[in-house]
Amino acid sequence: MELVHPFFIRLSENWFIALIFLLSYRKDFTGFFKLLALTIGLSSSLNAFLKELWQVPLDPSLGKVWWGFPRGHIQNAAIFYLELALYARKLWVFIISTIILYGISEAFIYYKFHDTLEIVAAISIALILLTIINLVYEFNKSAEVLTLIYGIVTVILSSWIFFFNLTKELTHYSWLFITLAMSLAIAITTNLFSYYDLHFKDLILNKKLDILVGLSFCVVAAFIMQAFKLKLPPHTPILYFFTSFILFFSITYLVPVLRFNFFKRRVVNAI
């Protein structure tokens, strides 16, 4: 189990979720992934809002003094994997998503990062948010309208967090800056794909090369995220946000730009 638990914890990390976003472009789910990315950003803002509202302290054994309820990793992981399962509408995807969520929860309990109540609360909030989002989507399937709604709510929640903590240590919410940056970067990328009618399957040069390039970006992402955790760069909210934005924007956008087939097709059409 010592080998399995770290694996499941990695599945809840931002860089791994970004990797799934990247590889899933092959399915051309651009509109869906735009909304899913924004949903993760909205979920993170809601999580931070609830932390400040309830102010339940972290377990002292973790060595950190801040609010710990509900847990953001579990909530965002539940949003991501359950929404994937709902969208795919395939039994095997639902089973895998359920196993991943259970494994992540079990790993966090094993390492005493969270207790059962915190995990149940985070997953419950994720399910409530997913239910509301899907009801709104059924009422109005316009990605543009939903993007505006998500954006307004996220800005309101995030602004409340930022203004409330202006005289405190904002670096406690470094994870929020990172997640919002990832959410925005992926949403912009998918919007560009939709706007220019780009289809990922038409841009593929070599499947092995695609995966290799994508993995290389995510390895770099993992190292940078670890550097942030070790407090190697200066801890400033602006640095967190823009570094993460550039990083995740590169993951999702530079890969198709590098493909020769895309440029060749544009040149042929121009001629």
Confidence tier at 216 by pLDDT (50, 70, 90): low
Question: How many angstroms separate the CA atoms of 126 and 96, rounded?
Answer: 18
**DSSP label at residue 63:** S
Task: Return the axis-axis angle of helices 116-139 and 91-110, rounded to nearest 10°.
Answer: 150
Q: Hey, is 157 helix, strand or coil?
A: helix
- Contact residues for 66 (Cβ-Cβ < 8 A; gap 6+): 51, 57, 58, 172
Q: What is the pTM of this model?
A: 0.69
Looking at residues 122-148, what average pLDDT do you find? 75
Confidence tier at 162 by pLDDT (50, 70, 90): low
Question: How many angstroms separate the CA atoms of 79 and 65, rounded?
Answer: 26
Q: Tens of pLDDT along 235-248?
A: 555 555 656 666 56
Higher-pLDDT residue of 218 and 175 is 175
Question: How many angstroms separate the CA atoms of 251 and 245, rounded?
Answer: 10
